[in-house]
Structure 1
Amino acid sequence: MKRALIVTGLLLASTAWGQETMPGKGIYTCTTADGRKLTSDRPIPECTAREQRVLNADGSQRSTLPPFLSPEERAAKEAADRRAAADRIAQQDAVRRDRTLMQRYPTEAAHQRARNLALDDANKAMRISERRIKDLGQERKPLLDEAEFYKGKPLPGKLKQALDANDAAVEAQQVLIENQKAEIVRINTRFDAELARLKKLWAGAAPGSMPPLEDAPKTALPASPSASKR
Structure 2
Amino acid sequence: MVAGLSPLLAHGQIFTCKDATGRTVTGDHPMPECADRKIVELSKTGVVKREIPAPLTAEQKRQQQLLEDKRKAETVAEDLRRQQDRALLARYRSEGDIEDSRRYYLSLSQDLVKRDQAMIDDARNQLKAANTEAEFYKNRKTLPAELRNKMDEANRAISANQKSMADHQAEMARINGKYDETLKHYRELVSNMPEAQGGR
* 1:171 Cα deviation from its structure 2 partner: 1.2
- State the partner residue of 1:191: 179
- State the partner residue of 1:87: 74
Asked if 1:146 is matched to 2:133, the reply is yes
1:129–1:145 CA distance, 2 compared to 1 (3 A): same
SS of match in other structure, 1:68: coil
1:149–1:114 CA distance, 2 compared to 1 (3 A): same
**Cα RMSD (Å):** 3.7
* 1:96 Cα deviation from its structure 2 partner: 1.2
SS of match in other structure, 2:192: coil
Percentage identity across paired residues of the two chains: 25
Contact 1:48–1:68 under 8 Å retained in 2:
yes
Please tell me whether Structure 1 or Structure 2 has the larger radius of gyration of its CA atoms: 2
Deviations 1:99-128 (A, max 9, x none): 211211221011111111211211111111
Distance 1:28 1:191 in 2: 68
* 1:66 Cα deviation from its structure 2 partner: 7.2
* 1:77 Cα deviation from its structure 2 partner: 1.2
Out of 203, 210, 223, the position equivalent to 2:191 is: 203
SS of match in other structure, 1:192: helix
1:42–1:111 CA distance, 2 compared to 1 (3 A): farther
- State the partner residue of 1:182: 170
* 1:149 Cα deviation from its structure 2 partner: 0.7
Contact 1:49–1:69 under 8 Å retained in 2:
no
- State the partner residue of 2:155: 167
Moved more, 113-122 or 64-73: 64-73
1:167–1:115 CA distance, 2 compared to 1 (3 A): same
* TM-score with structure 1 setting the length: 0.60
Aligned residues: 167
The answer for unaligned runs of 5 or more in structure 1 is: 1-23, 30-39, 54-63, 207-230
Given residue 166 of structure 1, which amino acid in structure 2 is its aligned partner?
A
Given residue 143 of structure 1, which amino acid in structure 2 is its aligned partner?
A
- State the partner residue of 2:143: 155
Deviations 1:201-227 (A, max 9, x none): 110179xxxxxxxxxxxxxxxxxxxxx
* 1:150 Cα deviation from its structure 2 partner: 1.5
Distance 1:134 1:104 in 2: 40
The answer for unaligned runs of 5 or more in structure 2 is: 1-10, 16-26, 42-50, 195-200
Asked if 1:122 is matched to 2:106, the reply is no
- Deviating above 4 A after TM superposition, structure 1's stretches of 4 or more consecutive aligned residues are 26-29, 40-50, 64-67
* 1:157 Cα deviation from its structure 2 partner: 1.7
